[in-house]
Amino acid sequence: MTKKGFTLLEVMIALAILASALTVLMGTMANSSQQAVFANDLTRATQLARSKMIDIEYEILEEGFQSSDQTLSGDFKDEGAPDMKWTADIKIVEIPDTAKEEFLAQINSQLFGGDQGALQGNAAFSSMLPMLIGQLPEMINNIGQKIRKVDLVVEFPYGKSTFPIHVTQYIVDPNLNEFNVFNDSPALP
């Protein structure tokens, strides 16, 4: 009768396969753990960014719109995350001249464009329109003065460097009853 069993070579091959599989599995688990930590930090940083944006908005509305750009910065020590930093750039919205020109071209095309123009042949209104269109760039500039763009960056440590989160928001001055697009006539009541 022969004895059934495994040879030393078969046992060594089985152990090698098991060791390879465990190495791959351990690497996957370590990577999964790192990704879970990153996802947790990203979620925390996103919530802090949202909270900071609300704080900045209230501060801007309470203090009023400044006449120049501003840069604010800090950390989240009070929120329990001293390793996370933030920077906010608050800028006056400037509408580029190309956008103004395109806007005026669209108005001109829709009002006077061939047979399709809404005011084609209306001489009474057509004579006043160039003066009104001439004032549009000033109106557009004044509208831009009532809007602020806030670019917020929250950074948190990730490995040997930092990972940034960028958030942008536009804030409109709520005192629109005091707003005057021409800056020369009295404000609305």
**pLDDT tens, N- to C-terminus, the chain (189 residues):** 567 777 888 888 888 888 888 787 777 776 777 888 889 999 999 999 999 999 999 999 888 888 889 999 999 999 999 999 999 999 988 777 777 677 777 776 766 665 554 555 555 555 666 666 666 667 766 777 788 999 999 999 988 899 999 999 999 887 755 555 555 544 444
Q: What is the pLDDT of residue 179?
A: 53
3-class secondary-structure state, position 189: coil
In the structure encoding, which two tokens stand for residue 80, read together?
């329990």
In the structure encoding, which two tokens stand for residue 41, read together?
């930090």
3-class secondary-structure state, position 127: helix
Q: What is the pLDDT of residue 173?
A: 82
* CA pair distance 165, 152, nearest whole angstrom: 8
Tell me if 156 sits within 8 A of 86, measured CB to CB: no
pTM reported for the whole predicted model: 0.63
* CA pair distance 171, 189, nearest whole angstrom: 23
Question: Any idea what the Cα angle at residue 91 is, between residues 85 and 150, rounded to 5°?
Answer: 45
3-class secondary-structure state, position 4: coil
